[in-house]
Homo-oligomer: A and B are copies of this chain.
Amino acid sequence: MSRDLPDFDLSRFLPYRLTVASDRLSAGLARRYRTEFGISNAEWRVLVHLADAGEVSIRELEARVHLEKSKASRAASRLVEAGHVTKRPNPEDRRLVRLSLSDRGRALMTELLPMAASYQERLEAVIGTHMDDLEAALEAIMEADL
């Protein structure tokens, strides 16, 4: 029995804790989106960006909502398939694509967005006074190079 290993408490390891907390929130949301609307997490990000950006290309999705381009492309395809999104070529640069919400997609977002907003509110209530520091910490993580 060699007890020479350094002590290490996984439950205090920040990347682990962040992942677990994030998975918890995402799983809860994803379950609602999926069961009620048949929408996955990636698809939801696309929809949200379309809802306030209008016409968008794949590479813009990649940059704005942190979706790798193949993931963005496939999410968009599924949304087109489902009738929530319209895809057409960009005539000014035919490499690009113009994604936009269809009427049906817009109707969907009329339900989804308020649901997300109320989720955010409940979350902020739960987090309470730590909210500002939480945001500051997340920004520090995003800007740090590690």
A-side residues, CB < 8 A to B, are 2, 4-10, 12-26, 28-29, 45, 48-49, 51-52, 64-66, 106, 109-110, 113-114, 116-117, 119-120, 122-124, 126-138, 140-142, 144, 146
Contact = CB atoms under 8 A, between A and B. Distances in A.
Contact of A113 (B8, B64, B127): B8
30 contacts: A5-B51, A5-B106, A5-B113, A6-B113, A6-B117, A8-B52, A10-B48, A10-B64, A10-B65, A12-B120, A13-B48, A14-B25, A14-B124, A14-B127, A16-B65, A17-B135, A18-B21, A18-B22, A20-B66, A20-B142, A21-B22, A123-B141, A126-B144, A127-B137, A127-B140, A130-B133, A130-B136, A130-B140, A131-B137, A134-B134
A144 B48 CA distance: 25
A16 to B, nearest CB: 7
**Would you list the 10 A-B pairs with minimal beta carbon distance, nearest first?**
A133-B133, A18-B22, A15-B25, A130-B133, A130-B137, A134-B137, A126-B144, A22-B22, A6-B113, A8-B113
Contact of A134 (B9, B45, B66, B133): B133
A49 B106 CA distance: 47
B141 A127 contact: yes
Given A21-B138, A141-B24, A146-B119, A45 B65 contact: no
A48 B5 CA distance: 10
